[in-house]
Amino acid sequence: MYIKYVRISGFKSYREKVECGPLSNMHNSVVGLNGSGKSNFFAALRFVLSDSYSNMRPEERAKLLNEGAGASLVSAYVEIVFDNSDHRLDSEKEEVVIRRQIGLKKDEYFVDNKHSTKQDISNMLETAGFSKSNPYYIVEQGKVTRITTMKDKERLELLKEVAGTNVYEEKKEESLKIMRDSNKRMEEIKKNLDMIEERLDKLDAEKTELAQYYELDKERRSLQLALLHQKIKGLHEELTNIGKEMNGKKAESTDGEQDMREVEQEKDRLAQQLNGLERLCERLETERVALEVEDNQKLQDKCDEEAQLKRLQRKIKSEEQESASKTAQVASLKKEIEKAQSKLASSQPALQTQSQEMTDLDESYHRVNRELETLQSIQGNANTFSSKEQRDKHLQGELRSVKAELDARLKDEENTKKDIEATKSEITRMETAIAQTADSATTHREEMKQKRDTLRKLEDQTTDLAKQVKDCERKLSEIQTTKDAADYAVQKHREAMQQNMPSSAARAIRFLNKYVDEHKIKGYHGPLINLFECNPSYFTAVEQEGGGRLFNVVVDDENVASRLVEALQKSKEGRMQFLPLSRLKPVVPNFPRDAANAKPLYKCIDFDHKFEPAILEVFGKALLCDSFEAASGYRASHGLACLTMDGFKVARKGAIKGGWCGDASHSKIALNKDIQVEEEKIRKTVAEEEKLTAKKRQLEQTKTQVLSDSSKLRGEMVVSKESEGKSARTVELERKQLGREKEHLRDKDQKQRSDRSDIVELQHKVEGLQDQLNQTFSQNLTQQQESDLKRLTTESHKLGKARSDKRNALAKTERDRTLLEESVQTQQQELDSLQAELDSTQGRGGEELEMGQRRLQALRTEAEEASGRRAAKEQELAKAKEDKTQCGASLQKQINEIKRQQRRFADSRKALDHLQDRKNRLLTELDHAQAQQRELGSHPEQFEKYKTEKNKKLHDDLHKVTEKLKAFKDVNKKALDQFNQFTEQRGLFQSRKEELQKGAESIESLIEKLDHKKDEAINTTFRMVAKNFADVFKKIVPGGSGELIMRTNNKHNDDDDDAEGGEDRQGIRKYVGVSVSVRFQAGGDVRVMNSLSGGQKTVVALAIIFAIQKCDPAPFYLFDEVDANLDPMYRLAVAKLISSQKVGDDNGENTVQFITSSFQPELVNAADCHWLTNHHGMSRITQGTKEDSVAVLREAQKQITSTGK
């Protein structure tokens, strides 16, 4: 353990905060010029660690505060941080911080930033080795000098201080003081005994006359006691009779009170029930009106839906008739189309046959014409051509022309074929597209049907959800009504409760409940009245005992209580007393066990075990009794606070509290119970309301989603409907386009056939021209050729006519076929249009009718339900009105009964009051007689003889005895008492005298023991210090020797002429001083203190300090310029001595920290850590090196030299 840091702020010359540290655990040197704050640094250490600055006045504290330039400081502190790694200080921490803070009006201590006291810090340091009896671990300037100037007696006092004999001296002084007081009391006792003996002699003569007087007085008292005995007996008998009569009246009154309480309770219950029935009737009337409106609305909706359904049925019937007509048209068109298609199918073979026949006729016609043209060309050669070359030239030119035309016609044919193929492909594509569009329309219709089914389900779901929402709203309305009724009841009960409790408590409870809920404070349990339950028969007793404490708030601990008190103070919302369970330590008295007519009040209460301290604090000291007499008895026998079921209370010291406690309707516990019941009902209602609200919200969300789905589905149906119409229009357009394409195809086929005929004709023409070119040129026909010419001409005419007829017939057939195809196409379009219309209308009316019927059925059901609810509500309202009437009659009956009970109760009370007056008068007489009896004292022996005598004889005897007693009117009636009193006092004084004598002997023995212990302590300490002094002196003065000598028994030293010696009567040696004998060189003269030089005296003083320190080692030492008067050789020896002590023992343990200041280099050179003080407006301390310290010493020496010059 050692000082690790020193922090100073505002102390003396240290204005600003400075920190010195970390300090070495060995030797630390502090150097500085004069006035730099070096001594103030050591003063700061003494400020915390020693008693040098204790019990200071304000002006003394002000001197410790820095008074430099700038604003004045009002406080200062010094803080020392100890390294406690060896746990020498009583703390588990590795570092312990001790701080002392001082101001003009305060002086505070802190340990680890926690408030502490000077005594606690002193005890802590003393356990760590800083003994109060050895204050030399801090050696400030001047202390060495004081030791050098000490006389032998002063050195002895120093030794005693080190030995700790002050304790023995204090105890001895206390014992002597006690002995002196005892001696004074002994003298007083002797004086009192002498006076008592004198008084007893005088009183002995008066005892005989007093004895005769006492005999007559005994007889008189016996007669008086006998008369009083008979009077008391008579009074007791009369009181017993009155008590019986009063008990009967009380029983009647109690029964009447019970009956009246029950009637009051019944009246309150009926009044509350009537109030509830009135609100119920109002609510039911409101609900009935709402249900009537709802019923009428449902009926109106049903009628509207029936009218709408009838209109829909008429519309559907009209649509069905129209649909039947269209269906007939569709069937007729289908038959006509089938018939036309049959005709087309049957005309196809004939058309093909005619086409083939036409082709054959064309072939024959062209063949004949070719042969005819050949013959005609031969016939015309003679007229046209003169030679074969001319003919061939002409023929070749014509052949070229024909071939060119043939090529053109072939090319047109090829193009026509391509057009026909393209048209056929387009027709195929269009037919496929029409089929796909028709399939798409069919798909759309199927989708529309599915969507209509889905829409119907969604509408049904919407209706069902709307119905559920209505049910939730209706239930929420009923719940709200119930909640309002409960809120009203709670408000009424709270108003009644607030009339029975302080307004400040009511405000405080309301605020605390709200504050705790808002801040989520744990450990708050609410008012005590909320934390227990009991039988209603105990309500009056519990309330009388609890009183205002019923509203005290129960919390877990004082932290919760303090927080809530602070909140109440800030809010100014009343006052409240808190019961912290952790602090309550209730003391339960000893109640009578197995008592048949009484039991502890807290056992009549049911409560949670964790609230037991609060329950026992309020109810734990009361005993509940069956009757007032039992309560009085237990109060007298057990000293308990008792009370009855009716609220009569007998306090432990006898005070009685009772009277009329009010009816049951004003019971705070009953009102609180009703509030809790209603609040529980409200909580359940709110929970149910939240549940229904959540359900309604969920239903509304579902309904909204369903409506959204329905709207989305309707939009999709509109789009599908538009798509279906668009598809129908597309099919119609495509079919028209298909008809045009087919018509174009027929035209192209006809053109192709025409082109083919022309091509064949041109081909034959080419062949004929080639044949003519191949024939020989001749200008005349042969006979055979002429015959062939005639024949061919005739045949050509016939074939031409047949060909023309066949062509006309073929054209007519094709025209008829074309017309038939166009008719089929037109009919097909009309059929598709009618079919589309039928498909669009088919089932829609039925679906609308079905949906209307479902809506109507739902409305009928809702109307029936609404009508049923209305009827049920009307029935419920009628029942409530009937109950209200009956309840009103019952309430009036109870009110009449209360009036009757009140009259009966008043009569009973009057009779009871009359009996009570009689009883009070008798009790007064009885108390007076018993007081007289007590004044007469105990019963003499003659009392038994007189107590059975008649009253008249007793009065006569009493008169006689009284006359005899008149003769003793001057007798000293207190003689015997005084004699006995003085005799008793004499015994007491004698016993007290003996006790004082024994005490004096014990004190003398104790003083002797203390003197022996003191002598032993001084001897032991002296031997240790003397041995250590000799060792230390040898180390400081090599070759020298030193010795401490204890002076006793009138042995005087040269410098101690005032010392006193001798030996006390017990043989204990009395020490008179401690002298010093030293030799500074081997073989030198032995010298005493007065013969030493100043430096030698300093050596001796330091040797004594080191010797004392070795007796009671401390973990560190503070030396402030202790080497100031030493020669260099001794300074070096002291430095070596410090260096040897700082390292501890051979094991490196028990090291010692030194903090020294010096103006000499020896101690500085021996230091392990160097600190420099300087002053520039304020003092500072910084760490430096050995060279820095030596430099400061040189500068200090120069300063001293300069000052000296």
Query: Residues 742-780: pLDDT tens digits?
Result: 778 777 877 777 777 778 778 777 877 787 777 776 656
* Mean pLDDT, rounded, of the chain: 79
Distance CA 828, CA 837 (A): 14
d(CA 401, CA 376): 19
Rounded-to-integer distance, Cα 873 and Cα 288, Å: 6
Over range 69-80, report the average pLDDT: 83
Confidence of residue 1110 (pLDDT cuts 50, 70, 90): confident
CA 48 to chain centre: 46
Triad 482, 487, 492: Cα angle to 5°:
125
**pLDDT in the model for residue 255:** 66
- The predicted structure's pLDDT at residue 223: 76
pLDDT for residue 1205: 38
Per-residue pLDDT of 11-69, as tens digits, reads 988 888 999 989 998 999 999 988 888 889 988 988 888 877 888 888 888 888 887 76
More confident residue, 614 or 434: 614
Distance in angstroms (rounded) separating the CA atoms of residues 452 and 713? 9
What is the pLDDT averaged over residues 1157-1177? 89
Burial environment of residue 817 by CB neighbours within 10 A (0 to 12, 13 to 18, 19 or more): middle
Is 821's pLDDT higher than 80?
Answer: no
Residues 796 and 369: their CA atoms lie apart, in Å, by: 6
Amino acid letter for position 739: G
Long-range contacts of 929-933 (CB under 8 A, 24+ apart): 929/228, 929/231, 929/232, 929/235, 930/232, 932/224, 932/228, 933/225, 933/228, 933/229, 933/232
pLDDT category, 208, cuts 50, 70, 90? low
Which long-range CB contacts under 8 A does 601-608 form with residues at least 24 apart?
601/538, 601/541, 601/542, 601/545, 601/643, 604/534, 604/535, 604/538, 604/541, 604/542, 605/532, 605/533, 605/534, 605/538, 605/542, 606/532, 606/533, 606/534, 607/531, 607/532, 607/533, 608/531
Q: Which residues pair with 456 in a beta bridge?
A: none
Q: Does residue 494 or residue 208 have the better pLDDT?
A: 494
* pLDDT over threshold 70, residue 823: yes
Predicted local confidence at residue 1057, as pLDDT:
41
The pLDDT value given to residue 1059: 38
Q: Is 295 exposed, middle or buried (0-12, 13-18, 19+ CB in 10 A)?
A: buried
Residue 670: CB partners within 8 Å, gap ≥ 6?
Answer: 536, 539, 664
How confident is residue 1018, by pLDDT bands cut at 50, 70 and 90? Answer: confident
pLDDT digits (tens, 9 = 90+) for 278-335: 877 887 788 788 878 877 887 887 788 788 878 877 877 777 777 777 778 778 877 8
Paired tokens of 724: 């279906």
Tokens of 831: 């059929």
User: The whole model's pTM is what?
Assistant: 0.40
Question: How many whole angstroms separate alpha carbon 1103 and alpha carbon 1116?
Answer: 17
pLDDT exceeds cutoff 50 at 690: yes
Report whether pLDDT(862) > 60.
yes
Q: What is the mean pLDDT of residues 468-493?
A: 79
Task: Sort strands 27-32 and 1153-1157 into parallel, antiparallel or unpaired.
Answer: parallel
Going by pLDDT thresholds of 50, 70 and 90, the confidence category of residue 1051 is very low
Of the ranges 148-152, 465-469, 665-669, 710-714, which one carries the lowest mean pLDDT score?
665-669
- Model pLDDT, residue 618: 92
pLDDT above 70 coverage of the chain, percent: 87
The pLDDT of 336-360, averaged and rounded, is 78
Q: What pLDDT digit, counting tens, does each position of 547-606 carry?
A: 888 889 999 999 999 999 999 888 888 888 999 999 898 888 888 887 888 999 989 999
pLDDT at 839: 63
Determine the pLDDT at residue 1052: 43
pLDDT number for residue 781: 66
Q: What's the pLDDT score for residue 560?
A: 92
Burial of 941 (0-12, 13-18, 19+ CB in 10 A): exposed
Residue 266: pLDDT over 60:
yes
DSSP assignment string, 18-59: EEE-SPPSSEEEEEE-TTSSHHHHHHHHHHHHSSTT-S--HH
* DSSP 3-state of 620: coil
- Phi and psi for 635 in degrees, rounded to 5? -65, -40
And the tokens for 416? 């026509």
The pLDDT value given to residue 1062? 41
Q: Is the pLDDT of residue 631 over 50?
A: yes
* End-to-end CA separation in angstroms for the chain: 46
Whole-Å CA distances, 984 to 135, 192, 979, 981, 989? 58, 13, 9, 5, 9
- Of 27-41, 144-158, 1038-1052, 1172-1186, the one with minimum mean pLDDT is 1038-1052
**Contact predicate 366/760, CB 8 Å:** yes
- pLDDT (mean) for 477-498: 77
DSSP string, 406-466: HHHHHHHHHHHHHHHHHHHHHHHHHHHHHHHHHHHHHHHHHHHHHHHHHHHHHHHHHHHHH
pLDDT band at 456 (very low <50, low <70, confident <90, very high): confident
pLDDT-derived band at 206, boundaries 50, 70, 90: low
Distance of CA 391 to the CA centre of its chain: 132
